[in-house]
Structure 1
Amino acid sequence: MLRVARPTDNIDALLHFYRDGMGFELLSRFEAHNGFDGIILGGSGAPYHLEFTRAHSHTAGRAPTKDNLLVFYLPDETAYGQARDRMEAVGYTPVKSFNPWWDAEGVTFEDPDGYRVVFYNDSWKR
């Protein structure tokens, strides 16, 4: 199991992006746990989940660059199209990737904190 965890100032906005746009399930939500609020999201049966936390006495800020990515390889054309369409249906517009490699066969979306998610319509080749 892999957990990717990062701080945020925008828990509710990230919930909308990753649950409603990405299609992840809300696995857990906590408030005032040792000074932190947070959400944990994941895919059904996926070996990973994402955790976003807000410290009551800390400002997280935005992504340091436009090349901070989570990349999801979606080789099936239908699954790729559904992922892209779901994001657009809830109000997210694709952005041009910092690295043009990802635009060749993929689409990039920026979350409310400035971090980016790429849906790449190919499989990992290595």
Structure 2
Amino acid sequence: MTPGLRVARPSADLDALLPFYVEGLGLEVLTRFTGHDGFDGLMLGHAKAPRHLEFTRSEHPAPRVPSRDNLLVLYLPDGAEWRAAVARMRAAGFAPVAALNPYWDRQGATFEDPEGWRVVLQNDGWDL
């Protein structure tokens, strides 16, 4: 059995993230919650996919981005699909930024969310 995967991180402003992750990356809001042991949250992904992003907000301040090389990398091996994903990000108002590691610029495009965290759309794949 393949385990599910959820990547979770705190945020200072959940609503500010929605244009980037929903309009730009094309993720769906799977659920939102408030007052869960002092946390509000937002779960994003695709309903039938076993991978989700979770963002939470609480009374504890969200940490700053440790470096420009903290990345979430999404592999899109199909060239047309990759170009469409980059175009969707641009249409949502997000321009690519130079990657700290030039490797990511050769076959990908790096975007920065409103809190400074980076997502790479990589036109590549790998054999597992």
**1:41 corresponds to 2:44:** yes
Deviation string, structure 1 residues 5-52 (Cα, Å, up to 9, x no partner): 000102011122111110001000011221111100002432200000
| Candidates 18, 28, 31, aligned match of 1:15 | 18
For 1:88, the equivalent position in structure 2 comes to 90
Q: Contact (CA 8 Å) 1:61, 1:113: kept in 2 or not? A: no
For 1:73, the equivalent position in structure 2 comes to 75
State how far apart, in whole Å, the 2-side matches of 1:16 and 1:82 are.
Answer: 17
For the residue of structure 2 that corresponds to 1:109, the secondary structure is strand
For the residue of structure 1 that corresponds to 2:98, the secondary structure is coil
Q: What is the number of residues matched between the two proteins?
A: 125
State how far apart, in whole Å, the 2-side matches of 1:15 and 1:30 are.
Answer: 15
For the residue of structure 2 that corresponds to 1:31, the secondary structure is strand
TM-score, scaled to structure 2: 0.93
% identical equivalent positions: 56
| Candidates 45, 52, 55, aligned match of 1:52 | 55
Q: Contact (CA 8 Å) 1:10, 1:112: kept in 2 or not? A: no
State how far apart, in whole Å, the 1-side matches of 2:100 and 2:47 are.
Answer: 30
For 1:5, the equivalent position in structure 2 comes to 8
Structure 2 gap ranges (5+): none
State how far apart, in whole Å, the 1-side matches of 2:23 and 2:17 are.
Answer: 9
The structural deviation recorded for 1:54 is: 0.2
